[in-house]
Structure formats: structure tokens, C-alpha cells
A = this chain, B = another copy of it.
Amino acid sequence: MNEPKTAAELAERFGEALRRIRETRPLIHHMTNYVVMNDTANLTLHVGALPVMAHAAEEVEEMVGLAGALVLNPGTLSPDWVEAMLKAGRRANELGVPVVLDPVGAGATRFRTDSNLRLLDQLKVAVIRGNSGEIGAVSGAGGVVRGVESVEGVADPVAVAVGLAREHGAVVAITGRRDVVADGHRVVGVDNGHERLTTITGTGCMATTMVAAFAAVEPDHLVAAAGGLACFGLAAEQAAAEAKGPASFKVALFDRLFGLTPEELAEGARVVWLEPPGPGGED
């Protein structure tokens, strides 16, 4: 498949990926936090994939062998979970199953920051998806995280995303009002979304699940990450119109995501190619 050159070609690819998710129903193996397990399992089903949550060291290697993507989300972490994540991640790397990392709360405590850095250090991660403060923490670029909330982001998201992407050979997605998605040489901005997303818990984790579902069927992980985020954001836009508050917004978000067609996604994606920083940034 050719690399998409224009925004329209990119949006077209998002639609094709969504169609492929629904045709092939890849298994998305989640090792994720207790808070969002139910929501992200449902979201996985609604987008068209199959969810499984499995964390025991005794089974994660076998489970990831059935999977189209592996989500590592150390949001309510403890040391044994981190070890099991490393085990699952290594096996995923051997098998070529894309690993999507969500560094929830990195920056809030040393244990969170260090655990995420260990995962990044020891695994080949396909996509890192975090808010601005979390990406700041794992990249060393600053930012402030209170709990799991980015209360102060990085100054230049494009430069930070590209820098971290180059460092790890990964795609980096910084979500916010404009999502910035970068690999070492390409940068995409995704403008879908709605501020209602900030009023419910776990929307970052949900975005990561979307990215993983797309990465399971789209080998260009920049396209996959941007596509998952556009799809999630577009459903949020549709849902906001009918919501009376955060809980009815969440119901509508899930309903809309389930009903979203590949054609609607290709048409509704609001995406732009951005200029990567100059080659001086690459060392």
C-alpha cells in the first residue's frame, strides 16, 4: 500500500482500517488498569474487535499469541503487573504483535515514571499514547501530572513527539485539543474530539484502545494511531450533540462509535499533515 500523501488519502486509509477491523475482528489483549477495564472492553467490541483482559504471568505469553495488538496500560500498577507486562511485551515483540503503551500517570510518582521507562527501555513499542504531561515525563521534556491529569503540558508537542519517536523508533501520540501523532519523520495533527471527553474518566485509556485496534490491522502505525484517534474523536463529536451531561455523553459515545461507518470516518476525519522539526533535531 502506498504511503498516504494528502489529508484526504490519510482519511481514506482510516476508513479502510475500520472496515478491516470489522471484517477480521482482531483480538486486543489488554493489560490495563482496574478503573477502565469494563469501558475499554466494551469500546473494543464496539469498534469491531474482540477484547481480552489477562494479566497473569502464567498465561500472558500464550494469550498474546492469539492477539492482533497488545495494550500495556500501567494505570493502577503494582510490581508483579509490571513484570507480567514485560513478559507479554517480549513475546509480542518476538511475534511481531504491535505493542501500544499508555504511560498513565507517568510523572505523578517515581514508581510510575520508572515503570514506564522500563517498559520503553526493554520493549520495542509500536505506539506510545499519552497526554502532554505524561509524554513530557517519559521524554524528559517537562510537564506536570497531578494524579493522571496533565496540569501542565510540554511547550512544543511536535518537537517532543518527534524526538521521543526517534529515540524509541516508535510512533508517539500526544492527545489534547489537537492530537499530535509523529514518527521520526512525519507528523499528523488530528482535530476531531470534543471537550466533553475531559469530563469522564478513562478517555485517554479509551483512545489507546482505539489506537491498538487500528494498529492490529494497519501496519503503518502512524496511520493507525491517527486513525484510531480520529475515529474516537468523531464519535465524541456526534455524541456531544445528544448528551445532557457526562454520563449520558458516555452512553452516546459508545453508541455512536458502534454505529460509525468507514465512510463516515473517511469523510469526518479532520486531519492535517504538519511540518516536522528540521533535521538539526535529529542526532
Contact = CB atoms under 8 A, between A and B. Distances in A.
Interface of A: 27, 29, 33-39, 41-42, 44-46, 50-56, 58-59, 62-63, 66-67, 75-79, 105, 108-112, 146-149, 199-202, 244-248, 250-256, 258-259
Contacts of A250: 247
Q: Which of A39, A78, A112 lies at the interface centre, i.e. has the most chain B CB atoms within 10 A of its CB?
A: A78
A44 B35 CA distance: 13
B109 A63 contact: yes
Given A46-B199, A59-B77, 12 more contacts: A27-B146, A34-B53, A35-B41, A35-B53, A38-B38, A45-B246, A51-B201, A62-B108, A63-B108, A63-B147, A199-B258, A246-B255
Counted per complex, copies of this chain come to 3
Contacts of A78: 55-56, 58
A251 to B, nearest CB: 4
Contacts of A67: 147
A173 to B, nearest CB: 22
Contacts of A44: 201
Contact of A59 (B29, B109, B251, B256): B109
Contacts of A58: 78-79, 111
> Mostly helix, strand, loop or mixed at chain A's interface?
mixed
18 contacts: A36-B38, A37-B76, A38-B38, A38-B201, A38-B202, A41-B201, A46-B247, A50-B147, A51-B147, A52-B148, A54-B76, A55-B78, A56-B78, A58-B79, A59-B77, A59-B112, A245-B254, A246-B255
Nearest to A58: B111
Q: Which of A27, A52, A77 lies at the interface centre, i.e. has the most chain B CB atoms within 10 A of its CB?
A: A52
Given A33-B53, A41-B201, A256 B246 contact: no
A43 to B, nearest CB: 9
Contacts of A54: 76, 105, 109
A4 to B, nearest CB: 30
